[in-house]
Copies of this chain bind each other. A is one copy, B any other.
Amino acid sequence: MTAFEYIAQNISFLNWKKEPFGLYEPIEYTLSAGGKRLRPALAVIASDLFGGKREEVLPAALALEVFHNFTLLHDDVMDKAPVRRGRPTVHIRWNENTAILSGDQMLIEAYKLLSQLRVDIQPQVLRLFNKMATEICEGQQYDVDFETRDDITINDYLMMIRLKTSVLLANALQTGALIAGADETAQQALYEYGINIGLAFQLQDDILDVYGNPETFGKAVGGDILADKKTYMLLTAYALADNRQGAELKAILADNSMKPQAKIAAVTHIYNVLGVREKCEEVMRAYTTKALAELEKLNLPDDKLQTLTALAEHLLERKE
């Protein structure tokens, strides 16, 4: 059974049919919407690498999935997002208070899952989990702060997405390895692999927002441009632009009278002239290469590493 199949099966065993229904139904609703289950699968894949018993890593893997969905639930409230995975978000389907309280309970449920772990490794897993959870909240706060700041650098942005996206993937891998008994060096290599694929993943996301095929890309193309989001694309454009180009870009983004499609086209044109896409792809490839180099530190046969190698390479080609 693949790690993904193992997670899909076991997540369905979690029981949310209990009272008070108003608290637990939104949790079931959120967790049953699917998604890739990438984070718990990574924990199992890392454990598999070192011959760990799947049932021993399972509580931590599920905790990561429940935690990830908790962050999405509360983020959707804060962003007033109406839809998630093709369904109304919890604060729309129920109300905001329900989304807050059921979200809080999901965070507690994640810790309940952690408390099922073997007691000899539990404190260490808990400590790493807490560090990761803190970093994710910090990343979310930086993301909010950056919206109203005009001095964000590319390094600020990378720091923010490292916290907001990468550390959860990295923690999943490290935790899986730790529970399976891998040594500190191996844990650290997997952690760094996770950080780097997370960064590559986010950069690809930023590129696809501009250059994605509207038919295969999940979201509307150009959304980041219309929201004047300080993505890697935009920050790179400002970094590459001369004074005139920078002023032009700024003026277009600030122009509220432009039609959406015209604005997207104008910004994309500047990106094309500056070679922003190529620059971004170059940096993304560098993160992928770095991720693959981390895997080599594990000194494991290539066939064992196939899933993680494929995952990193897949990032370079994904279209959605």
Contacts and interface: CB of A to CB of B under 8 A. Distances in A.
A1 interface: no
A144 B22 contact: yes
Contact of A141 (B101, B122, B137): B101
Contacts of A74: 100-101, 104
A153 interface: no
Number of copies: 2
Interface in A80-113: 97, 100-101, 103-105, 107-109, 111-112
Interface in A95-151: 97, 100-101, 103-105, 107-109, 111-112, 114-115, 119, 122-123, 126-127, 130, 133-134, 137-138, 140-142, 144-145
A266 interface: no
Nearest to A19: B138
A247 interface: no
A300 interface: no
A20 B142 CA distance: 7
Contacts of A107: 104, 107-108
A112 B130 contact: yes
A115 B123 contact: yes
Nearest to A106: B137
A78 interface: yes
A134 to B, nearest CB: 6
Interface residues of A, number: 35
Nearest to A79: B97
B137 A111 contact: no
Given A74-B101, A115-B127, A138 B108 contact: no
A77 interface: yes
B101 A140 contact: yes
A118 to B, nearest CB: 9
Contacts of A114: 126
19 contacts: A20-B141, A20-B145, A22-B144, A23-B137, A23-B141, A74-B101, A77-B100, A101-B140, A101-B141, A104-B107, A107-B107, A108-B137, A111-B111, A111-B126, A112-B134, A115-B130, A119-B123, A122-B122, A126-B126
Given A101-B141, A104-B137, 12 more contacts: A20-B141, A20-B145, A22-B141, A74-B104, A78-B97, A78-B100, A78-B101, A101-B144, A104-B107, A108-B134, A111-B130, A112-B130
Interface of A: 19-20, 22-23, 74, 77-78, 97, 100-101, 103-105, 107-109, 111-112, 114-115, 119, 122-123, 126-127, 130, 133-134, 137-138, 140-142, 144-145
